[in-house]
A and B are shown apart, each in its own frame.
Chain A
Amino acid sequence: MLTLKTLALTNFGPFKGTQILSFPTEPGVTIVFGENGRGKTTLLNAFRFALFGTIKARAAQDITLLDVINIEARQDGVFSASVVLTFSYYASMYELTRKIEPRNGIRQPESEADLVIDSWLRRDDDVLEGNFAKEELARIMPEKVSRFFLFDGELLQEYEELLRQESKTGDEIKEAIEQILGVPVLTNARQDLEALHSQARKQESRAQTKDVKTNELQSHLAEALARKEQTESIVREKKLERHALESARAAIVQEMRKWERLRSQLDQRDGLLRDINDLKLKIDERKERLRLELTGVWKSLLATDLSKRRLSLEEEFATLLSRQEGRRASDFLTKLLNSNLDSNRCDGCARYLDTDARQYIQAKLAELVKDAGIEVPGARLEELRSQIGTIDAVVSADRRGLILEIVSNIEEARVACSDKQGRVADLQEATRNVNEAEVQKLSGEERRHTQEITILDQAIQSEQNVLADTLSKMQKIEAELDRIGGSDLSKERVQREVCAKLHQLFEEGVALYRDNLRAKVESDATEIFRELTSDPDYTGLQINQNYGLTIVHRSGTLVKVRSAGNEHIVALSLMGALQKNAPLRGPIVMDSPFGRLDTTHKLNVVKALPRMADQVILLVYESEVEPQMARNLLTGKLRSEYRMKRLSSFHTTIEGGTGGIR
C-alpha cells in the first residue's frame, strides 16, 4: 500500500523557497486550508508532477513549465523548481525528486523549450533513473488510475459521463475504473491466454505437419528395421548353412586323405590327359600352319641346286661379257689404225708415219682381223641374265628354316605328347584296381562343397553389405528424426485444448468478475451514498455496464435527473467504493470537493472521509469546510492540519503540521 510521508516544494508555483508538508502515517485525514488563489490546485499538481511529470490545468488555463517556477524566484534570477515526495510502498522507502531547470547553456529561460525536467527515484539505498524509475513508479501508481487518488472537485462532474453511452470521456473513465479494480489482471490474462491459444493452435498445426513427416520417417525406419531383421535372419541362416557345409566338407576331406596318394595319381593322370589334349591341339595348330607355309616349298628344296647352278651361269655370263668387251676394243683399234694408215700420220703423237711404223701398224691390223672372227652371242647373255634373276628370286623365297622350326615344334610336341601318354599308361596301370568312381565322387563332392561354400560366402557378404547399407539408412533416418524433434501431436492438441478452455474460462471469468465487481461497487457505493445523501428517500445506487451510478428512489424509480450536488455525492460514493474494491490501495488527495454541496452534504462527506481511504489529504478553503466543524466531525481521525498563508500575490507559505492547528 502506498503511504505518503512528505512533500517538499521548492519554488513550485506560489511556494517560494522550500516548504515541506509531512503526512501522518496513521489512518486519517490531513486538511490543508487555503483561500482561493493560494495554491491548493498547485499543491494537487505538485503531487501529480512528482509522480507523473505532468501538470493538469483546469479548463481555459494553459500552464507551461516556466509558469510553474515561482514568479518571485524568477525575478530573483532563480529558474528552477522542484518537488520531492517521500513515500513508503510496502517494505520500501522511496524518495522521488522531479526538478525543472534551465537547459544546458541557458541562463535565463524564456519559454518551456529552454527548460528540462530531471527526475530520479531513490528506493531505500538505491537510486533509480530514467526508465527504471518510470517503470517502478508505474508499478506503484499507474497514471491511468491517478484520477482516483488525485482528484479535483471541480472535475467530479466528469463521472456523469459514465451514464452516457458512447462517451469518449466515459470510456476513458471506465477503463481507468477497471484498471484500478484490477480487471486488467484478468483481461490481460485472457489476452495472454488468447495469444497462448493461438500459439498452441500454430504449434498443433506445426506438429501436424511435423507429424506427417515424422510418421513418414518412422514408417521408413520401420521398413528399414524390418529389412535389417530380415537380412540378419538371412545372414544367420546362411552362416548355419555354411557351417553345415564346412562340416560336411571336412568329413569328405578326412575321407579323402585315405585316398590321397591315389587321388594324387588320378589327379596327375587327369592333368597329363589335359596336357596331352593341349599338346594335340598345339600339334594340329602347327600342322595347319605348316600346311600353309608349305605353299612354294618346292623353291626351298631347289634353292641349293639353283645356287650351285647360278655359279656356272655367272661364270659363263662373265666369259661372254669379257669376250664382248674385247671385241669392242678390237673394232675400235682397227678403225683407229686404218685411219692412221690412211692419213699416214699418228693420231697419238701427230707425227708422220715412216715405213717401219706403217709396217708395225699393218702387222697389228692383221692380228686384229683374226680376233674379228670371234662371235659374241648377245642373246645368250640376255638369257643368262634372266636365268640368274630367276634363280635369285627362287632362292630368296627359301623358307627351310621356318619350316624346319615348325616341324621341330611339332616333333617336340609329339615327343612330349608321347611321353605323357606313356606316363598316363603307367598311372592307369597303378590305379587299375581302385574304385576310381568312388574317389572321383568324393573329390567331386569336395569340389561341390567348396564351390557352394564360396557361393555362400559371397551371398553372406552381399547380405552383410545390404545390412550395412540398411544400418546406415536407419542412422540417417534417426538423425533426421532427432533433427526435426519428436512430434507429439496429442500433447500439442491437449495444450491447445487446455489453452482454449482456459481462455474460455477467463472469458467467462472476466464477465463474471466484472459483474461481481459491479455488484460490489454498487453495494459499497450505495452504502457510502446513503451516508452522504441528505435525502432519506434515496435508498441506493444502481450501477450500469460503464460503472455509471444512478440514484434509486425508495419507490424503485431511477432518478435520471439529479442536482449538481447529487452528482457530486454520487461521484464521491463511486470514489469511495472504488477505493474499497481496488487491489491498489493508496492515499486520496482531494481538491475542493465540496464546492457544490450544501451544508448537510458537506458534513456527511467530511464524516465519511476516513472511510474512503486510509490516508486522505483534503485541500479546502475555510468557508467550504469550517475548521472547527471538521475537527468535531473527524474526532480522532484528523491527523494533521496545514494552512496556506499569503505573503504576496506570488508567495504562499504553508504553516502547521502534525497534530493539527487548533
Chain B
Amino acid sequence: MSTMQDKTQFGLTKEGTAVIERLEELAIFPNQMEAAKFALAVAIRSGAKPSVVAQAKTTWHAGGFDPDHELADVVCILFPEVQAPYRAIEALVNDGLALLGKEIERTGTLDLPTLVDVLPNRAR
C-alpha cells in the first residue's frame, strides 16, 4: 500500500452510493461531497483504518473533492503510513457511509448529536 500509486479519481461502492442517495433524500447535508467527507470523519472517529476499496464507481475528481489538499493532509497526519491519501479517503468514505447506512437503517435518520458529539466520545 505504501508504494501504491494514488488515485486522481475515486468513488463509491454500490452500498455507499445507496447510502449517499438516502442521505441526499434526508437533506441533512448541503451536497453529496459534504456527506461523503462527514462519513469519512465518522469512519475515522469510529476507529476505521484506511483499506482498499473494490468496485468503486468513479464519482469525484480528487482536485474537485479536495481542492486545497487539506483532507489528504489530515488523512496523512492521522495515518502516517498512508502514501496514497485519496485511496485512503475513498476507503474511509465508503467505510463511513456503511456506518451511516446502518445508523439510518436503525433509526430511520441520522442522529447528528450522537454523530457529532456522543459518538466520538464513545469511540474514544
Stretch from B3-11, B13-21, B41-49, B97-105 contacting the other chain: B41-49
Chain A neighbourhood of B28, CB < 8 A: 287, 290-291, 294
Interface size on B, residues (CB 8 A): 26
CB distance from B122 to the nearest CB of A (A): 12
Q: Are B113 and A408 in contact (CB under 8 A)?
A: yes
Q: Of A290, A295, A387, A390, which contacts B112 at CB under 8 A? A: A290
Q: B116 contacts A390, CB within 8 Å? A: no
Which chain A residue lies CB-closest to B42? A301
CB distance from B116 to the nearest CB of A (A): 6
Contact B78 A305 (CB under 8 A): yes
Which residues of chain B are within 8 angstroms of A393 by Cβ–Cβ distance?
70
Is B60 engaged at the interface, CB distance under 8 Å to the other chain?
Answer: no
Q: Is the interface of B mostly helix, strand, loop or mixed?
A: helix
Q: Does B37 lie within 8 Å of A298, measured CB to CB?
A: yes
**A403: interface (CB < 8 Å):** yes
A387 with B27: CB separation less than 8 A: no
Instruction: Report the nearest A residue to B113, measured CB to CB.
Output: A407
Chain B residue numbers with a CB within 8 Å of A296 are 34, 37
In the assembled complex, how far is the CB of residue A298 from the closest CB belonging to chain B, in whole angstroms? Answer: 4
Known contacts A301-B120, A305-B44; is A287 also within 8 Å of B27 by CB?
yes
Per-residue A-contact encoding for B37-64, CB less than 8 Å = 1, 0 else: 1101110110000000000000000000
In the bound complex, CA of A45 to CA of B36 (Å): 151
Chain B CB within 10 Å, residue with most, of A301, A309, A393, A408 = A301
| Closest residue of B by beta carbon distance from A386 | B73
Asked if B74 and A294 make an inter-chain contact with CB atoms under 8 angstroms apart, the answer reads no
A403 touching B112 by the CB < 8 A rule?
Answer: yes
Please give, as numbers and ranges, the residues of chain A lying within 8 Å of B27 by CB-CB distance. Answer: 287, 291
Report if A294-B45 is in contact (Cβ < 8 Å); known contacts: A404-B113, A407-B113: no
Which residues from chain B contact A294 at a C-beta distance below 8 Å?
28-30, 34, 38
Whether the Cβ atoms of A390 and B74 lie closer than 8 Å is yes
Nearest CB on B from A611, distance (A): 146
A309 to B40, CA, bound (A): 17
A298 to B70, CA, bound (A): 11
Cβ contacts under 8 Å, B74 to chain A: 299, 302, 306, 390-391, 394
Q: Which listed residue (B34, B73, B115) contacts A295, Cβ 8 A?
A: B34
A296 to B34, CA, bound (A): 7
Separation of A302 and B112 alpha carbons in the complex (Å): 15
B71 within 8 A of A: yes
Within 8 A of A (CB), among B66-83: 70-71, 73-74, 76-78
How far, in angstroms, from A386 to B76 measured CA to CA in the complex?
Answer: 12
| Secondary structure type dominating chain A contacts | helix
Is A301 in contact with B78, judged by CB distance below 8 angstroms? no
State the CA gap A295–B30 with chains docked (Å).
Answer: 7
In the complex the two chains form, what is the Cα distance from A307 to B38 in whole Å?
Answer: 18
Q: Is B25 an interface residue (CB 8 A)?
A: no
Q: Which residues of B contact A301 (CB under 8 A)?
A: 38, 41-42, 44-45, 115-116, 120
Closest CB of chain B to A383's CB: distance in Å? Answer: 10
Which residue of B has the minimal Cβ distance to A410? B112
Query: Which partner residue on chain B sits nearest A284 by CB separation?
Result: B27
Does A313 lie at the interface of the complex (its beta carbon under 8 Å from any beta carbon of B)?
A: yes
B34 touches A302 (CB 8 A): no
Residue of A nearest to B76 (CB): A387
Task: Note all chain A residues with C-beta closer than 8 A to B106.
Answer: none
Judge whether A300 and B116 touch: CB under 8 Å: yes
Contact indicator per residue, chain A 288-319, by CB within 8 Å of chain B (1) or not (0): 00111011111111101110010001000000
Nearest chain B residue, comparing its CB with the CB of A288: B27
**CA–CA, A306 and B73, complex, Å:** 11
Question: Which of B70, B71, B74, B77 has the largest number of chain A CB atoms within 10 A?
Answer: B77
Q: Which residues of A contact B117 (CB under 8 A)?
A: 400, 404
In angstroms, Cα B102 to Cα A156, docked, is: 161
B34 is contacted by which of A297, A306, A391, A407 (Cβ under 8 Å)?
A: A297
CA distance A186 to B95 in the complex (A): 140
Nearest-CB distance from A504 to chain B (Å)?
111
Contacts of A400 in B (CB 8 A): 116-117
Least distance between B20 CB and chain A CB atoms (Å): 14
Complex interface residues of chain A between 100 and 137 (CB less than 8 A to chain B): none
Q: Are B112 and A304 in contact (CB under 8 A)?
A: no
Q: Residue of A at shortest CB range from B79?
A: A309
* Distance between Cα atoms of A279 and B111 in the complex (Å): 19
With A and B bound together, what is the CA distance between A99 and B116 in angstroms? 141
A550 to chain B, nearest CB (A): 142
Q: Known contacts A291-B27, A306-B77; is A297 also within 8 Å of B38 by CB?
A: yes
A153-211 at interface with B (beta carbon < 8 Å): none
CB proximity of B38 to chain A, nearest CB, Å: 5
**23 CB < 8 A contacts A-B:** A287-B28, A291-B27, A296-B37, A297-B34, A297-B116, A298-B38, A298-B40, A298-B71, A301-B42, A301-B115, A302-B41, A302-B44, A304-B124, A306-B78, A313-B77, A387-B73, A387-B76, A390-B74, A393-B70, A394-B74, A400-B117, A403-B116, A407-B112
Given A298-B38, A299-B41, A407-B112: 5 more A-B contacts, CB < 8 Å: A297-B37, A305-B45, A313-B77, A387-B77, A407-B116
3 closest Cβ pairs, A-B complex: A301-B41, A298-B41, A298-B37
User: Which residues of B come within 8 Å of A, CB atoms?
Assistant: 27-30, 34, 37-38, 40-42, 44-45, 70-71, 73-74, 76-78, 112-113, 115-117, 120, 124
- Residues of A near any B CB (own CB < 8 A): 287, 290-292, 294-302, 304-306, 309, 313, 386-387, 390-391, 393-394, 400, 403-404, 407-408, 411
